[in-house]
């Protein structure tokens, strides 16, 4: 199958094969990793190594803690304001799609949240420029989404927020391209796109954000609880973290994040080129300078043709191409593990479909 699922998404075949080999008897211990204690030396090694790999691939050394958390990226929408919004402060949000909007809505549930920039009125077509972003000086943080999964856009720069800590939801863009991670006080991502199967969310938090323990919120919701216990305060999602470990090694072995970007640009270009040379038959949802190299979104001349496109693509073994239910149209999610050949096949299918229906 050509797997263009938006998430959970394609995993590298080599990773799945290694996991299969190790599943029943992990490195000769006579048991599955699923069956052993998270306090065992085998698991502690995976935990520490995965944390190191994550920092390494993000280009960070010391000064940040890597946490493996439950509840999906959506829970972070709430735990960010719970941990960081102090009385008298506001949370500022750059709203560029439905996930950043959800983060903003959760901010409002917890405390005072304000909009630093939004491109909702332009139907998300073009991302705000630095000059469009107004940071309230009273902000505890600025929250942004670096890649907008549903809409199909990605920031080409990291906004300058001055002294206000920047927090990035990188769920659908992490490790797809080099990004200046040092500009972020916190990065987080649900694993289920570029990092592994679902079940774990990574949070990478700068030490200065963890100096005060927020005692007014429950223990499990405090980042400090997890940071002071090397992310082993309670039972972690062992299997998901093990899989992430294998995926991170795969990224490294395949040239690291810069090589991922190169491949992702080549892959997405195959599809964008068909859109741009289709004479308007295919129309991209996002302006070219804001387009995502992970989630490629476009429309056809009618909803009827879009339905037919999805139906015929399924018959050809293309999986997951229907756009998000809130947007419609087509979305091809070409995460790191989606091979070049799958994108080439999709580009060919699109050309062929247009020939018959254009
Ligand atoms: N943020 C972004 C950018 C996403 O793409 C998603 C899921 O697709 C989420 C947040 C929500 O993640 P989860 O399903 O892990 O809660």
E strand intervals along 36-76: 64-69
Kindly report whether the global pTM for this prediction surpasses the value 0.90: yes
- Condensed to tens digits (0 to 9), the pLDDT of residues 304-316 reads 999 999 999 999 9
Is 235 within any annotated ligand binding site?
Answer: yes
- Condensed to tens digits (0 to 9), the pLDDT of residues 272-292 reads 999 999 999 999 999 999 999
Residue 36: closest CA among 22, 49, 50, 48 = 22
ipTM of the complex: 0.99
Average pLDDT over residues 94-109: 98
With bands split at pLDDT 50, 70 and 90, how would you rate the model's confidence at 62?
confident
Indicate the domain borders of the chain.
14-253, 256-357
Average pLDDT over residues 60-78: 96
What is the rounded CA–CA span in Å between residue 358 and residue 345?
19
Name the fold adopted by 256-357: 3.90.1150
Instruction: Look up residue 291 and give its DSSP letter.
Output: B
Ligand 1 in reach of 7 Cβ (< 6 A)? yes
Is 74 within any annotated ligand binding site?
Answer: yes
Bridging pattern class, strands 201-206 and 64-69: antiparallel
Exposure on the CB side of residue 280, measured as CA atoms within 13 A: 0
Instruction: Look up residue 78 and give its DSSP letter.
Output: H
| pLDDT value for 61 | 83
In terms of Cβ atoms closer than 10 Å to its own Cβ (0-12, 13-18, 19+), residue 62 is exposed
CB 53 within 8 A of CB 68: no
With bands split at pLDDT 50, 70 and 90, how would you rate the model's confidence at 157?
very high
Sign, CA torsion 73/78/80/83: negative
Average pLDDT over residues 258-279: 98
DSSP-derived secondary structure for 132-195: G----TTEEEEEEESEETTTTEE-SSPPP-TTSPEEEE-TTTTTSS---GGG-SEEEEETTTTT
CB 286 within 8 A of CB 126: yes
H/E stretch holding 331: strand 330-333
- Mutation test of ligand 1: which of 5, 8, 72 has the most ligand atoms closer than 8 Å to its C-beta? 72
Tokens of 114: 């304000």
Which atom of ligand 1 is the closest one to the Cα of 170? 3
Residue 167: closest CA among 221, 233, 113 = 113
5 pLDDT more than 90: yes
Q: Which residue's alpha carbon is nearest to atom 3 within ligand 1?
A: 171
| pLDDT value for 28 | 95
Q: Is the peptide bond before 8 cis (omega within 30 degrees of 0)?
A: yes
Ligand 1 in reach of 145 Cβ (< 6 A)? yes
- Condensed to tens digits (0 to 9), the pLDDT of residues 187-246 reads 999 999 999 999 999 999 999 999 999 999 999 999 999 999 999 999 999 999 999 999
Average pLDDT over residues 242-255: 98
Mean pLDDT, rounded, of the chain:
97
- Condensed to tens digits (0 to 9), the pLDDT of residues 159-198 reads 999 999 999 999 999 999 999 999 999 999 999 999 999 9
What is the rounded CA–CA span in Å between residue 307 and residue 261?
31
- What is the CA(357)–ligand 1 centre distance, in A? 35
Name the fold adopted by 14-253: 3.40.640
């Amino acid at each position: 199958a050509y797997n263009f699922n938006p998430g959970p998404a394609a995993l590298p075949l080599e990773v799945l094969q290694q996991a299969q080999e190790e599943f029943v008897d992990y490195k000769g211990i006579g048991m599955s990793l699923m069956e052993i204690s998270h306090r065992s030396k085998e698991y502690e090694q995976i935990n520490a190594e995965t944390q190191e790999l994550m920092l390494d691939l993000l280009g960070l050394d010391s000064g940040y803690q890597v946490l493996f958390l439950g509840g999906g990226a959506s829970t972070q929408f709430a735990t960010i304001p719970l941990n960081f919004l102090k009385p008298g402060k506001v949370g500022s949000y750059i709203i560029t799609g439905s996930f950043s909007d959800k983060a903003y809505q959760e901010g409002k549930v917890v405390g005072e949240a304000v909009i630093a920039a939004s491109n909702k009125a332009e139907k998300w077509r073009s991302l705000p420029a630095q000059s469009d972003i107004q940071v309230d000086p009273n902000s505890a943080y600025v929250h942004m989404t670096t890649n907008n999964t549903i809409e199909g856009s990605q920031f080409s720069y990291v906004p300058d927020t001055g002294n206000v800590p920047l927090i990035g939801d990188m769920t659908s863009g992490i490790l797809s391209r080099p990004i200046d991670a040092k500009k972020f006080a916190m990065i987080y991502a649900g694993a289920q796109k570029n990092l592994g199967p679902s079940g774990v969310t990574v949070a990478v938090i700068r030490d200065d954000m963890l100096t005060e323990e927020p005692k007014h919120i429950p223990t499990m919701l405090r980042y400090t609880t997890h940071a002071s216990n090397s992310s082993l305060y309670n039972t972690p999602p062992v299997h998901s973290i093990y899989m992430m470990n294998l995926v991170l090694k795969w990224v490294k072995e395949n040239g690291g994040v810069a090589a991922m970007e190169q491949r992702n640009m080549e892959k997405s270009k195959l599809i964008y080129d068909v859109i741009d040379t289709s004479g308007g038959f295919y129309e991209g949802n996002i302006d070219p300078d804001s387009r995502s190299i992970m989630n490629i979104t476009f429309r056809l001349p009618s909803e009827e043709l879009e339905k037919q496109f999805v139906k015929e693509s399924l018959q050809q073994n293309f999986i997951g191409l229907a756009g998000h239910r809130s947007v419609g149209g087509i979305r091809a999610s070409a995460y790191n593990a989606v091979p070049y050949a799958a994108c080439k096949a999709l580009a060919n299918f699109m050309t062929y479909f247009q020939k018959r229906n254009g």
